[in-house]
A and B are shown apart, each in its own frame.
Chain A
Amino acid sequence: GQNIDQPTEMTATEGAIVQINCTYQTSGFNGLFWYQQHAGEAPTFLSYNVLDGLEEKGRFSSFLSRSKGYSYLLLKELQMKDSASYLCATMDSNYQLIWGAGTKLIIKP
Chain B
Amino acid sequence: NAGVTQTPKFQVLKTGQSMTLQCAQDMNHEYMSWYRQDPGMGLRLIHYSVGAGITDQGEVPNGYNVSRSTTEDFPLRLLSAAPSQTSVYFCASGTSYSGANVLTFGAGSRLTVL
Q: Which residues of A contact B43 (CB under 8 A)?
A: 43, 87, 89, 97, 99
Say whether B62 faces chain A, with CB atoms less than 8 Å apart.
Answer: no
The tally of CB-CB contacts under 8 A between chains A and B is 53
Docked-complex contact B100 and A30, CB < 8 angstroms = yes
Say whether B12 faces chain A, with CB atoms less than 8 Å apart.
Answer: no
Partner of B100, one of A4, A50, A87, A100: A50
Say whether A48 faces chain B, with CB atoms less than 8 Å apart.
Answer: yes
Q: Which residues of A contact B103 (CB under 8 A)?
A: 35, 43, 45, 97
Docked-complex contact B98 and A48, CB < 8 angstroms = yes
CA distance A96 to B42 in the complex (A): 14
Task: Say whether, besides A87-B42, A87-B43, A43 and B90 are in contact (CB < 8 Å).
Answer: yes
Give residues in B with beta carbon < 8 Å to A.
40-45, 48, 58, 90, 97-108
Given pairs A33-B102, A45-B97, A89-B42, 16 additional interface contacts (CB within 8 A): A8-B40, A30-B100, A33-B100, A41-B107, A41-B108, A42-B106, A42-B107, A42-B108, A43-B43, A43-B103, A87-B42, A91-B101, A97-B103, A101-B40, A101-B41, A102-B42
